[in-house]
Amino acid sequence: MNYRIETVAIDCLMVRLFDAIDEANMPWMLAASQRLRAVFGERLIDLVPSYTTAMVHFDLLHLSPEQARTLVREALENLRPDNGSGGRLHEIPVWYDLSVGPELALLAERCATSVADIVRRHSEREYQVFALGFAPGFAFMGLVEEALAAPRLATPRKRVAAGSVGIAERQTAAYPAVSPGGWNLIGRTPSKLFDRERDGYSLLQPGDRVRFVAVDHTTFINLGGDDTPLEALA
């Protein structure tokens, strides 16, 4: 396993394992995170994994930068991919509708197809959770079929409803809470993505797999969904 250790801050190191986003990296990324957590133990303040990197924030009261580098090397020695756990598979219900997912129309037009076809194509794939970021419980997932890839909106919305499901480039995600956002919105999930009462807080974790399941309006409401149209939130 080739990797680089980069200086990031007085008490942070970046462990760079890959140079490109690839679903095949995930078993290695998960294994690296586990090993780093195990070896640093109490001396780890935070570990921030992303697509190709893991940022190690170590406790400067207990480790010098040089000692931290040594621990990283120890953690990653003879690293083997974590193919065993593979993450959990989640089925996330989504009400795909123009009132909560206005870019459905845009995608259908761009692909010269129907809205129903866009829904089918978005919901038939199994996606991988690459990273969490942007907001608590916001999971970057992919990869979306190439034809559905769409650049972020030129002007981000000031208010995107909680549960909004969107596409940006070849990634898809659901907004855990109301926030500004520039993703192309195609629907809304009633699932609670971040819950301070839940063990582990975030529904989705890196390495998990996700399948979106299209549900009708009645099911969406019965599952606790809020169908306030997007325009009403602006």
Is 23 or 117 the residue whose CB approaches other proteins more closely?
A: 23
Can you tell me the distance from the alpha carbon of 208 to that of 68, in angstroms, rounded to the nearest whole number? 29
Q: For residue 63, which amino acid is it?
A: L
Q: What's the CA angle centered on 211, arms 29 and 90, to 5 degrees?
A: 70
Q: How far is the CB of 136 from other proteins (least distance, A)?
A: 5
51-59, 78-86, 99-107, 145-153 -> range binding other proteins (CB under 8 A)? 51-59
Q: What's the CA angle centered on 200, arms 197 and 203, to 5 degrees?
A: 85
Q: How far is the CB of 63 from other proteins (least distance, A)?
A: 9
SS3 of residue 69 by DSSP: helix
Binding other proteins (rule: CB under 8 A), the pick from 39, 43, 45, 110 is: 45
Q: Does 50 bind other proteins (CB under 8 A)?
A: yes
Can you tell me the distance from the alpha carbon of 189 to that of 165, in angstroms, rounded to the nearest whole number? 7
- Interface of this chain with other proteins, residues 126 to 185, rule: CB under 8 A: 131-138, 140, 177, 179
Q: Does 8 bind other proteins (CB under 8 A)?
A: yes
Other CB atoms within a 10 A radius of the CB of residue 58 amount to 24
Each residue of 198-214: b (16+ CB within 10 Å) or e?
A: eeeebbbbbbbbbebeb
Task: Give the E-state strand segments of 36-124 in sequence order.
Answer: 44-49, 53-58, 89-94
- Interface of this chain with other proteins, residues 189 to 218, rule: CB under 8 A: 194, 196, 201-202, 206
Q: Does 62 bind other proteins (CB under 8 A)?
A: no
58-66, 81-89, 93-101, 215-223 -> range binding other proteins (CB under 8 A)? 58-66
- Interface of this chain with other proteins, residues 20 to 39, rule: CB under 8 A: 20-21, 33
Residue numbers at the binding site for other proteins (CB under 8 A): 6-12, 14, 20-21, 33, 45-55, 57, 60-61, 64-66, 131-138, 140, 177, 179, 194, 196, 201-202, 206
